[in-house]
Structures are given as structure tokens and as C-alpha cells.
Amino acid sequence: MHYKAFMIKYAEIGTKGKNRYIFEDILCKNINRKLKSLGAFHIRKEQGRIFVEALSAYDYEDVVTALTKVFGIVGICPIVIEEDTAFETIRDRVIEYVDNAYDRKNFTFKVDTRRNDKTYPMTSMEVNAELGHYLLEAYDKLAVDVHEPQEIIHVEIRKVVYIYSITIPGPGGLPVGTNGKAMALLSGGIDSPVAAYMIAKRGVEIEAVYFHAPPFTSERAKQKVVDLACLVADYAGAIRLHVVNFADIQMAIYDNCPHEELTIIMKRYMVKIAEELAKKNDCQCTVTGESIGQVSSQTVYSLSVINEVSTMPVFRPCIGMDKQEIVDISEKIGTYETSIQPYEDCCTTFVAKHPVTKPILSAIEKSERKLEGMIEPMFEKAVETAETIMCRYK
Amino acid sequence: MEAYFDNAATTVVFPEVREFVLRLMCEDYGNPSSLHMKGVNAGSYIKKAKEIISKELKCEPKEIIFTSGGTESNNMALIGAALANRRTGNKIITTAVEHASVSSCTRFLADMGFEIVVIGTDAHGVVNKEELLQAVDEDTILVSVMYVNNEIGSVMPIEEIGKGIKEKNSSTLFHVDAIQAFGKMHIYPKRLNIDMMSVSGHKLHGPKGVGMLFVKNGTKLKPIIYGGGQQNGMRSGTENVPGIAGFGKAVEIVYKNLDRNIEWMRKLKARLSKGLLEIENVYDNSGDAPHISSFSFIGVRSEVLLHALEERGVYVSAGSACSSNKQSVSNVLTAVKMPKEQLESTLRFSFSEYNTEEQVDYTIDVIKEILPVLRRYVRKK
């Protein structure tokens, strides 16, 4: 370990005008929370950037990996901070820095100096030229290219000196907690965790709901959803998962409604329950993993009939994506392996062989009227007895 | 009420065994290879366990090799015997209803160039003995047949097969996977012409992570794990002393009351069958083993019924696990040519001496209560 600090770059937050400090404070808080278990760190804001300084020993790889999962960060620069601003010291540090940062010293470079302290005895140009000279002297395979350098060695002379050149890309997005709260419907499949991840990326806090139907779905299927929520929590922060027992409602629909309409009616009740839980938990929207045309209940006709019951915005970030594109994201965020475990809902019992693909709202509503009187108490019970599980990344 | 009917999956550890294992871990924790007293002490527990087991098998203590469990025993027998005898012949005969720890090995050996002959069973899951013996020839180096099938409890005619093999080719080795049989019947491998026999500890109230392979004196077998040369070089690695000692202790206890326990399990098995067959469209697929029952409950998927039973404290196994993604159908149930609707609705109930008649009656009542409800919620055509 040769870096004692990281400089965190963030982009979009800078455009948020007067609210900027709120965004920055939340980002600092999120970074702090993420690094808490990895060592002691001091996190401070300074002129549009955040500095993370290690106060204890830490594992470099672990910290970088953790930071690449904090939304709002666009770049992570391992940085050397030197308190002595004398040129000779800067020179030694820069030579040492290049030695540590690059395995092979055979690239083109330029030195880019910023001088905050205008009383400094040398101009920026002079510092650039001098440092370039000493670096060429120290490493004979280096070459200067001021127009298109492969590497730019940044040297900032303030009260202290900052030396950095490498930027590790961050996840982008906005800090979670700056944009309200969403109730995500998690199924245990590939799409819904990706959808939750994408909404979290825009700064939205995530709660989640899973519909459990014992004995038709197994304890393992539920555990799989808990595992998925824990994985998404690596990015989104801790997720409160509400597990709703949906068996009674499913059976009532099965007993009273046309079989080919089952999935549509079931989904309408899922959305209603999700909204009820969303309201109870101060969420402003719901999130689903739907993608147009993927299955019969995701045709535009089906989506519009299901959507009819919602009063909140329903965000469907996967809506225009192909399956492979969704799979690619799930592999990137690490949920794929869990999603494809074969415990997917044993609800096949409730799936018709030929479900409707062009449901008609009036017909669905007519079928639902057969449930009147019996479904209301079931609905209330489902909401009231929902089990809450706190899902944190392990 | 809780009723654990999944004893073919694993069993609860005897209290005496638990205490014994714990004591060894705390006090006699030496490495049997160490030259000092702690090592010698540890070694004596292994010796004792071998004595107990060899007495029950009527074999010599040195014919027992301890392993990490049934899977390793089967791997050692199949791969070790194939490698050691490849100059003698190339043919290996097995059955269509073996456990994955045998069938995966034979698939691996097929990839290595061995000829694998798989013999089918009759409708009760018993291997076609004549067909099997017909296949034994000059080129056959190994025959591997399980004693008791783990899914339906069919019992293979091991004695006749052993005799038949040796009559056709005296140098063909006979391996028996007795993981579901040991501790449920008296087995004397030498009288049955068995050259190698696999046993697992945790199926008979011993600890997990320990098993053994009986290897008859003079059997040509190559080790599959190499290292410090423990157990005469046949199975390197520091011996799992507490596990082995606990395994020995469990065998001692099981065989002390074996006849009484067999009778008890048979009684429970018959009681369950009588009760469940009163329900319409329930089939009993069970073989002759005292502790394994298999039933099909037409019209309900096994996994759904399993979870419904679990909610009421009854623990069983599904004959075939399936999900909406993947239909993984049991090769055993397929081999006995079970119709699809029967195959998808099969549950295994397996007993131990700890089960009671009350548990059986409770289970029958629960099934009678929930089956009609679950049968209503089938996938409509």
C-alpha cells in the first residue's frame, strides 16, 4: 500500500446549483458508510472534490472496489499528499510516485501543474518543465508529449501538494438518498434486480417487495430474493424487503377468474399491494423489471391493463432493453449467478398454458368483480402481515 | 408435531456419538502420524473403529479404508479400480439407477476410454440380473451395483449377482454401493463375493464427513488421493480421527439393536402405506428396504406437497425436483418407467429408529387434509 489518500471526482452533482452542498454531503455520508468496515478514513470536501484520507492501514483493492460501487462517483484517483511544498521535495515525491504507480515506465507524458499559491517561487510552466526534466532523467524509457500524452501527471500546489495521474472510473449516477424512495418489485429473476439497481443509480433509495406463495413457492425461492436484495444493496445501500404472503389471493383468483387471465389479474393485485406498501413507507414510486414483449404479461396491451391500477409512477428501466442487455448488466453487478438458480417461483401451478396477450380492460375488470367481498380482507391481511427483512451486502 | 422422515438424506447424530466426538476434539486431538503419546492415542481410536466395523462385516480390520464419506468411497472404488486394472480389460458394468456419485464416475471413465455398460431395471427398480450377468465377459474389469436404491428403496439381488459374476469371470471386481443398506441389514461382503463396498457415516447417526470403503485383501486398487501415505498409502491425508471414532461408535450402537430396529421401521413403513393408500390416486412405489418408502400423489407436484408438509413439521424428500426453468427428472424414476404424472408427484419418506407411530399417523392425517386442497390448484390445460 503506497497511497494514503484518494481524490473522488463527481460530475453531475456540480450542476445542481444551490442544492449542491446537499448532494455533496450525502455523497460523503455514503462513502463513509461504504468504507466503515475497511479501516479508519477521514472524508472531506474541498473545492468541488472529495478527499478520502486513510487514518489506518487498509487494503487498497478492497477500498477501490468499494468506491466503485458508490453512485455519484465518476472517478477515483489514488493520490499522494505532501505537506512540504519545497520544489526539491515535490520532485522526489513525483519520481517516487511514478515508480510506484507504473509497472512499466515506457509511456509518453506531460506534467500539468496548478498553482493555487501565487506566492510560490516558481510559475506553473517552470514547475512543469523542471519536473519533466527530472522524470526523463530518472526513467530513460519515458518521453514527453505535450499534445497527446498517454499519461498526465497532475501536480497541484496548494497549502499542501497533491500528486496524481491515474483515474479509476466510478459507477456514475447520483448519490443514493438525493432523490426520494422507490418500492421495487423483486421476483427472483434476472430483470427486477437490474431495474432496482438502475433506479438506485439515479440517487433513489430502494425498498423492495417480494410475493411469496407457500407452499407453491419454496423457502429457497424466498431466500434467493433476500440474497438478490443483499447484492443490490452493495450499490443501493441497505434495502428493506417486504415479503408478502400472496397464496390466499392467488388461490382466490384461481378459483374465481378465467384461467388465461390469471397472470394479468395477479399482477394487478401485486401492483396494488406494492403501492400500498410504498405509501406506508414513504416511497414516491414503484419499480418493475418489465421489458416490452418479454412474456405474455409484458405485451404493451398487458402492461397498459396492469398499469391501470397504479396511482404512482411505475418506473420500468428495462422496458426498452433486450434480454441480453439486461443479462449483461446483471453480470456486471453480480446478480446473474443468483438470479439463474433454479428455484424460480414454483407458481407454474398458476400459469395458464395459453395466457391472454391482448387483455381487454373491461373484461379483466368484469372478472375481478367476482372477487368482490372476499378479496378485500385478503388484501388487507397480505399488507398487514408482510414480513420485513433488512438486506445488507455481506 | 415434528416428524423427520428424511433419514435417507441424513440422520440425527446419536447423543453418545456427539459426546464422544466432542471429547476427542477437546482431549485426544493428536495426529495419528505423530510419534508421541498424543499421536499413538489418536491412532488407537482409528484401530478401535476398524475393529467394530470389521466385526459387523465379518472382515479383517485392514480391509477397511476410511474416507470423507460415501461419495469419496464410490469415487475411490470406481476410478481406483478402473485405473489399476486397465491392462486386464476395458469394460465396466453398472445400473441405470445408481447414485450420482457412481454414475458421474462412470461417465468420467467413459470419457477416459472405458466401455460402460448400463443395465436397466424392472418396474420395481430391481436391476435385470440376467441381462447384467449376460454382459459380464473376459474384458469386464468391474461391476458396480448399489445394494439399496436411495429413491425408492428397491433391494438388488447382490448375492446372486456376486455369485454369477465370479462364475463368469473370477477376476472381475464387484463393487457395491451399500450407503443406503449398511445399518439397515446384515451384510457380510465376503460371503456375497463383494470386493469393494462403500459406506457412509451420517446415514446411520454418525457424523458427516466420514465414510469407508471395504476393500477385500488382494484387490487391485489405485489410490485417487496422494500425499503423506496414510492408511497404507491408499488414502493420504491426516485421518479424521473424531469423525472416524464417532462413525465406529455409531455402527456399534446401530448393530446392537439392528434386528429390533429393522422390525420397527418395517412396521412404520407398513403403517404409512396402509394409511396413504386409503386416499384416492395415491401409489406406493416402495421397494423392499425397511426404511425407504416412495409414494406418488397424482395431481399435485411433489415440491408443492413437500413444502405444504414442511409447514406442518413433516420433513420428506421430493422424488424429482422441478422448477419452472428446468425440469430435472429423477433418473431412477425414469428408469422404472414411471408415467409422467406419477413421476412429478413422487415423495420419499425414510425412517429411522427415532420415528414413532404417532408421527406416521399425524403425517397421514395431514396429507388427507391438505391433498384435496392442493389438488384443486393444478395447472389447467
- Tell whether B313 is within 8 A of chain A (Cβ): no
Question: B164: closest CA among B134, B141, B186?
Answer: B134
**Does residue A207 sit within a domain?**
yes
In this structure, chain A runs to a length of: 394
A111 or A219: whose pLDDT is higher?
A111
* Contact predicate B139/B89, CB 8 Å: yes
A226 and A152, same domain (yes or no): no
Q: Residue B380 — very low, low, confident or very high, per pLDDT cuts 50/70/90?
A: low
| In-domain check, residue A176 | no
Calculate mean pLDDT across residues A76-101: 94
More confident: A298 or B76: B76
Query: What is the mean predicted confidence (pLDDT) over A368-383?
Result: 96
Band the pLDDT of A346: cuts 50, 70, 90. Answer: very low
Q: What is the pLDDT of residue A345?
A: 61
Domain boundary among A122, A143, A169: A169
Does pLDDT of A352 surpass 80? Answer: no
CATH class of B15-256: alpha beta
One domain, residues A268 and A304: yes
Whether B328 has its CB under 8 Å from any CB of chain A: the answer is yes
Chain-chain contact of A346 with B311 (C-beta, under 8 angstroms): no
CB A315 within 8 A of CB A200: no
Cell of A38: 475497511
Q: Report the phi/psi class of residue B300: left, alpha or beta, with left for phi > 0 and alpha for psi in -120 to 50.
A: beta
Partners of A174 in the β-ladder: A202
Residues B199-258 pLDDT 10s: 999 999 999 999 999 999 999 999 999 999 999 999 999 999 999 999 999 999 999 999
Instruction: Write out the three cell numbers for B226.
Output: 496422494
Confidence of residue B323 (pLDDT cuts 50, 70, 90): very low
Contact B377 A259 (CB under 8 A): no
Asked if the model's pLDDT at residue A37 lies above 80, the reply is yes
pLDDT at A347: 56
CB contact under 8 A, A216 and B326: no
**B3-11+257-380: what CATH class?**
alpha beta
State the nearest Cα–Cα gap between A380 and chain B, in angstroms. 23
* Closest-CA distance of chain A to residue B326, Å: 7
Assign B354 to helix, strand or coil: coil
Q: Provide residues of A within 8 Å CB-CB of chain B.
A: 214-219, 251, 254-255, 259, 340, 342-353
Verify that A15 and A149 share a domain, yes or no.
yes
Helices (H), B58-99: 70-84
Cα B122–B266–B305 angle (5° rounding)?
70
Distance of residue B363 Cα from the nearest chain A Cα, in angstroms: 16
Q: Give the closest of A254, A259, A349 to B301, CB-based.
A: A349
Domain boundaries, chain B: 3-11+257-380, 15-256
To the query of whether residue B59 is one of the catalytic residues in this protein, the response is no
Q: Closest chain A residue to B301 measured between Cα atoms? A: A349
Query: Is pLDDT at A349 greater than 70 in this prediction?
Result: no
Rounded CA-CA distance A23/A19 in Å is 7
pLDDT by residue (tens digit) across A63-79? 999 999 999 999 999 99
Q: Are both A16 and A66 inside the same structural domain? A: yes
CATH at A210 = 3.40.50.620
| Chain A interface test: which of B304, B310, B370, B371 (most A C-beta within 10 Å) | B304
pLDDT digits (tens, 9 = 90+) for A217-244: 888 899 999 999 999 999 999 999 999 9
Measuring CA to CA, which residue among A367, A2, A392 is closest to residue A227?
A392
A145 shares a domain with A55: yes
Mean pLDDT within B28-41: 95
Q: Looking at the structure, do residues A248 and A377 belong to the same domain, yes or no? A: yes
Statement: residue A374 has pLDDT above 60? yes
Per-residue pLDDT tens digits for B280-314: 999 999 999 999 999 999 999 888 899 999 999 99
% of chain B beyond a pLDDT of 90: 90
Please give the residue range of the domain that contains residue A291: 181-391
Average pLDDT across chain A, whole number: 92
Asked if B116 and B94 count as a contact pair (C-beta separation under 8 A), the reply is yes
Q: Are B129 and B158 in contact (CB under 8 A)?
A: no
Distance from CA of A184 to the nearest CA of B (A): 23
pLDDT at A1: 44
The contacts found for A95-103 with CB under 8 angstroms, 24 or more apart, are A95/A134, A95/A135, A95/A138, A97/A153, A97/A163, A97/A165, A98/A135, A98/A138, A98/A139, A98/A142, A98/A153, A99/A138, A100/A2, A101/A165, A101/A166, A102/A151
Label residue A55 exposed, middle or buried (CB < 10 Å: 0-12, 13-18, 19+): exposed
Q: What is the mean pLDDT of residues B368-378?
A: 90
Tens digits of residue pLDDT in B65-97: 999 999 999 999 999 999 999 999 999 999 999
Q: CA quadruple B240, B244, B247, B249: dihedral positive or negative?
A: negative
Which ipTM score applies to this complex?
Answer: 0.78
| pLDDT at res. A353 | 76
B170 touches chain A (CB under 8 A): no
Number of domains in chain A: 2
Judged on CB neighbours under 10 Å (0-12, 13-18, 19+), A124 is middle
- Mark yes or no for CB contact B379/A219 under 8 Å: no
The structure's pTM equals 0.86
Least Cα distance to B47 among B309, B291, B248, B300 occurs for B248
**In the predicted model, is pLDDT for residue A355 greater than 90?**
no
Helix axes A191-201, A219-236, angle to 10 degrees: 20
Spatial separation of the C-alpha atoms in residues A195 and A210, rounded to whole Å: 14
In this structure, are A160 and A212 located in the same domain?
no
Mean pLDDT estimate for chain B:
94
Mean pLDDT of B159-176: 97
Q: Please state, in angstroms and rounded to a whole number, the distance separating the CA atoms of residues B121 and B130.
A: 11
At A140, phi and psi to the nearest 5? -75, -10
Q: What angle do CA A95, A98, A100 make, to 5 degrees?
A: 110
pLDDT over 80 at B153, yes or no:
yes
Of B305, B306, B379, the CB nearest to A348: B379
In this structure, how many other beta carbons lie within 10 angstroms of the beta carbon of residue A302?
24
pLDDT at site B379: 63
Task: Kindly state whether residues A142 and A220 are assigned to the same domain.
Answer: no
Output the pLDDT for position A22: 86
Indicate the residue among A141, A169, A197 that finishes a domain: A169
CB contact under 8 A, A216 and B380: no
**pLDDT given for residue B326 in this prediction:** 44
8 Å CB contact of A349 and B379:
yes
Identify whether A174 is part of a domain: no
Q: Flag if A346 and B380 touch (Cβ within 8 Å).
A: no
- Name the amino acid, one letter, at B325: N
